Structure 1
């Protein structure tokens, strides 16, 4: 600064002299010529220039001084930092001096006490010794000195935050105290005071470690070190509580951050959240093992905390799944979420933490709700693809509509091809895709809900088939929905064949579901034994069979009502025209009822369908047997159509009885001709007996009807006329 000022001063000196000289000259001029105005203006202009020049010099001086100031700051910064560091060292030295002063103060106090005892008279000292009854003062002095040294050292270590050293010293003194309690020459009062003082320092150290562990910004290694210290001090319960508190805080903040992020609306959200939550639980378990050892069982508080965190995760899972509003792909997304959660939760089992049952309990209700929602949607899908079905059978490869696991089972029970209508093929494909999608949900042990949902879809489809067959009901119920009615017998039989194939395919699906449950979760066998699974499987299959039988019975009922609604038209031959006696001659010239003639023609049409390879022969033959059996039952229950009352029976039968017997005989001949009961002829005989007994006729008297020639001859005539046989 001085060099700068001097530089400006030396530079300005000539100018200042010139300015002084000019001022003196101006003064002389003014004194000589005071009235000259031009000289006065020249003086003013010279003064202004001087002022401006002075201001500019002042500004330059200021800039130079600022530059010099900054140079001084930069040059002295390192010295300032060094001084600041030295101040820290000085503070630590001051602390040490303070502790030293405390120590010296204590020593001075002890010295004063010693001098005080010396001042006392010898007689007084002897008297005190005799009253105390203690002949040796050396052990007491050693204990007091040791206690003072220990307490002083502990105070120093605590003040300097040297936790490890303080822990080691406290542990050592605890052992010493335990040893001194068994020594006879040690005073109890002194020992109790020393123990109390050590306990006070131990409480201070516990408080200090607790404050460290409760620091929200503490790192995991530092936390572990503080918890180990608490365990060494004998407060394991507090260490466990602090451990739980730390990881609970981590999980809560992590969940909050996940929900606040944009990933909440993406599929990766639940995967990352599952990974984070169960990873934190895993870290907490590892920290517990580090504190208490591998063989130590988990504390009840830790297990309860892990279950509570699983419950919190379940609430987050439920919230996420309910945000999946779209039907297309929503079920698969929810199933993927289940897979992520279950997989990460299962990893904890290697650490002997079994949380899957609690996780299943929390997420199963929401998954059942999602499943029900999608199953309701699939019911609407069934309505859509059945509306355009014309009920015509097609041959489809089983392996083309079923997966490998189910198709292999089906192939062993039925041909490689199956007969299905268009809606049947779509329906079984839908069931198969649903089964594949929900297979991961077997781990949630909701196979009962899955099978029940599939059964409800099957029931929905059967109801549609029933409406298609039962035309009268369908006309009233299908005003608001499109549905092609099965008006022809061939369409109705196609529906039954379609249902029969679906029955076998669906049974295979259900069996594969229960098999998959056992493969996915072996622990399920403990909850659902084999007997329970077999019972559930049998119940499901029985439901399908009952539904199929109900639809077949409806078909038979509709078929019989349609046939028997044909007006009866037959011609009886007068009694005088009978050629001779005998049971066989009394029906000569009598024709079966027109309805039974139509029945024969319709049955022959159905038989021809198997000949054209439209239906399977064995299946169609079974259907025809059921149909004939239903006809016999209908005849037994509707004998009033022949005006039979069973009263005033004479040797010569009335014409209505003759017609009834002839129709029953004709029905028997139809069955024999078609070979419907060739494997069990006694069953046909029992049906005939039941029909005759219903009218109080003696079956033994009319068994010869089976050998009558007129009905069988009529059958041959009709066959030759219609089919050219």
Structure 2
């Protein structure tokens, strides 16, 4: 063993193979000789096991010093893994002679492989963050000729996400030793942290993202190119969602099959591991999706704030819009308020962009539009100063203001329903908002239902608004002028309010 010296240029695997051949064939020969001379005498068998263990430990220390240490420090996970696999392959042959020495090797090799694992993940994290500084946030197919460019990986991502994906696929090329050392869970955790760090980079690329969110540990000073346009910002979500939903879980499935392991643990433990690993991966995927949700929430919050506030910090959505209508307006042209028009136009524009970017994953696009609509409506629901003014003055909500407010909420229900992103939660919150406004109006002593036109009128105004805002021509309806409420307001007019409230 001492005479076998690796040169500084030689490949660690070759040294490991030569040393393994020498050591484990000698142990095998000793086991054979011991059996011939002493038979199965317990005392001598025990002596043989102690001696073989000592030789295996000496072997492992030499492999660590001459082959594993340098590759582990450099993050050469594959080189380290290969050395471990070679050693385990030779060592496992002794099991037929009753010598189970693989656990001895695994215990001694594990710290080096952990070091290589950590260094590898760190390199992926740093490389991806550096690439984000030059990413133009435009979705493209992977460059031709890249490894892994099989049909399974023909997804549109931006340049930094393509590189991230390729590095992860390479990382999982040889996971046998990670399984055999029970490092599957640690690998998944490390990969989650790397992905989470990339999501932080994507959050930082959103204009106006809050400093405390973006200034995450380890990458606080990294420069990230801003995603200025809506298309670029939606591309950030396309990156994160595709990686979390499909690409990373597919790569991590290589950690599931235990037959890649050279370490033959007892069959009971293997079957237990097999049962336990899939729930572990499901929980891991849930965490990945949770990380994407942080990006989605930041995206929705910023777009909601852009709609609600001016650059000077004034609000486009105030109680004054409604309480000042009565007494100040002679001839009302009924149409949804400007902020809700802008919300509808923005959602339409995003839906069109998302249709191109989320082909085959339309559900993600629908959930994004649902979340953005909810963010605006929840803000209105929770804006205490808005409700203080509606409920307590400076002056009470009048019939025109109530009608405009009801129209705005009806408009949200209409376009969300038409776009198929009317969630139960959104429906519930809109109903609660309408009920609060009705209660505030009823507090003046007047029945709010007596002031509202029939539901058909609201539906017609909303439909015309959607047609006009989306540029579609409206069919001429000679029987009805949708810009003037019906003169007679019957008991039927309240049916929708009541049915809406009971939904």
Normalised by the length of structure 2, the TM-score is: 0.77
Query: Which of 318-327 and 341-350 deviates more?
Result: 318-327
Q: 1:373-432: per-residue Cα shift (whole Å, max 9, x none)? A: 22222222112222211111224599987588xx8xxx6xxxx85332222111111100
How many angstroms apart in 1 are the aligned matches of 2:185 and 2:134? 32
Equivalent residues in 2 for 1:392-431 (5 A)?
Answer: 392-395=138-141, 402=148, 417-431=154-168
- Shift of the 282–561 alpha-carbon distance from structure 1 to 2, 3 Å rule, reads same
1:486 and 2:227 are equivalent in the alignment = yes
Q: Distance in 1 between matches of 2:241 and 2:343?
A: 24
- Any idea what SS the aligned residue of 1:487 has? coil
- Verify: 1:389 aligned to 2:389, yes or no: no
- 2:2 is aligned to 256
2:296 pairs, out of 536, 541, 552, with 552
* Equivalent residue number for residue 627 of structure 1: 372
* 2: CA distance, partners of 1:538 / 1:716: 46
1: CA distance between counterparts of 2:382 and 2:333?
27
Unaligned runs of 5+ in 1: 1-254, 580-587
User: Any idea what the Cα deviations from partners look like across 1:440-466, whole Å, max 9, x if unmatched?
Assistant: 432222222222222222112111111
Q: Give the aligned length.
A: 449
Pick aligned residue for 1:460 from 163, 181, 197: 197
Equivalent position SS for 2:126? helix
Residues 70-123 of structure 1 show CA distances to partners (whole Å, capped at 9, x for unaligned) of xxxxxxxxxxxxxxxxxxxxxxxxxxxxxxxxxxxxxxxxxxxxxxxxxxxxxx
| Greater relative contact order structure (CA < 8 Å, 6+ sep) | 2
Matched, 1:689 2:435: no
Alpha carbons of structure 1 residues 610 and 540: separation in structure 2 relative to 1, 3 Å: closer
User: What does 1:187-586 correspond to in 2, within 5 Å?
Assistant: 255-259=1-5, 262=7, 266-267=11-12, 268-293=14-39, 299-321=45-67, 323-324=69-70, 330-395=76-141, 402=148, 417-469=154-206, 471-473=208-210, 480-503=221-244, 504-516=246-258, 523=265, 526-527=268-269, 529=272, 530-566=274-310, 567-568=315-316, 573-574=325-326
User: What's the offset of the Cα at 1:544?
Assistant: 0.6
Q: Per-residue CA shift, 1:21-46, capped at 9, x if unaligned?
A: xxxxxxxxxxxxxxxxxxxxxxxxxx
Instruction: Give, in angstroms, the shift of residue 716 of structure 1.
Output: 2.7
Task: Sort the Cα spacing of 1:436 and 1:365 in 2 relative to 1 into closer, same or farther, 3 A.
Answer: same
* Cα distance in 1 for residues equivalent to 2:137 and 2:396: 53
* Alpha carbons 2:407, 2:458 under 8 Å: kept: no
Instruction: Provide the rounded CA distance (Å) in 1 between the counterparts of 2:336 and 2:114.
Output: 60
Offset from partner CA, 1:541-597 (integer Å, 9 cap, x none): 121111112211111111111111145386865459789xxxxxxxx5354332222
Deviation at 1:724, TM superposition (A): 4.0
CA contact 2:344–2:415 (8 Å) conserved in 1: yes
Distance 1:399 1:709, change over 3 A: farther
Q: Distance in 2 between matches of 1:575 and 1:318?
A: 86
Q: RMSD over aligned Cα, in angstroms?
A: 3.9
Distance in structure 2 (CA, Å) of the matches to 1:653 and 1:380: 59
Q: Is the Cα–Cα contact under 8 Å of residues 665 and 705 in structure 1 kept in the other structure?
A: no
Residue of structure 2 equivalent to 1:667 = 412
Alignment of structure 1 residues 69-84 onto 2, 5 Å: none
Q: Is the 8 A contact 1:391 1:491 kept in 2?
A: yes
Q: Does the CA contact (< 8 Å) of 1:311 and 1:358 recur in 2?
A: yes
Deviation at 1:668, TM superposition (A): 1.6
Structure 2 segments unaligned to the other structure (5+ residues): 474-503
CA contact (8 A) 1:592 1:666 kept: yes
Say if 1:419 and 1:501, in contact at 8 Å, map to a contact too.
Answer: no
Where does residue 641 of structure 1 map in the other structure?
Answer: 386
Q: Indicate the structure with greater helix content.
A: 1
Distance of 1:307 and 1:705 partners within structure 2: 90
Q: CA distance change for structure 1 residues 446 and 366 in 2, over 3 Å: closer, same or farther?
A: same
1:630-675: per-residue Cα shift (whole Å, max 9, x none)? 2222221125236535348999747765554443223222213323
SS state at 1:646 partner: helix
Matched, 1:601 2:345: yes
Would the alpha carbon gap of residues 661 and 353 (structure 1) be closer, same or farther in structure 2, given more than 3 Å must change? same
Shift of 1:482: 2.9
1:317 partner SS: helix
Which residue of 2 is the match for residue 16 of structure 1? Answer: none
Alpha-carbon distance between aligned partners in 1 of 2:279 and 2:44, rounded to the nearest angstrom: 39
| Conserved 8 A contact 2:178-2:184 | yes
How far apart in 1 are the matches of 2:347 and 2:433? 20
Match of 1:129 in 2: none
Q: Residues 321 and 366 of structure 1 are in contact (CA less than 8 Å); yes or no, is this contact kept in structure 2?
A: no
Which among 612, 615, 620 is matched to residue 358 of structure 2?
Answer: 615
* 1:307 and 1:358 in contact (8 A); partners too: yes
Q: Distance in 2 between matches of 1:512 and 1:638?
A: 49
Distance 1:697 1:311 in 2: 80
Distance 1:467 1:306, change over 3 A: same
- Residue number in structure 2 paired with 1:723: 471
Contact 1:639–1:695 (CA<8 Å) still a contact in 2?
A: no
Provide closer, same or farther for how the CA distance between residues 423 and 652 of structure 1 changes in structure 2, counting only shifts above 3 A.
closer
- Partner of 1:163 in structure 2? none
SS of equivalent residue, structure 2 residue 156 = strand
**Distance in 1, Cα, partners of 2:248 & 2:299:** 22
Name the CA distance, whole Å, in 2 between partners of 1:452 and 1:549. Answer: 18
Higher Cα radius of gyration: 1
Aligned residue for 2:125, secondary structure, equals helix
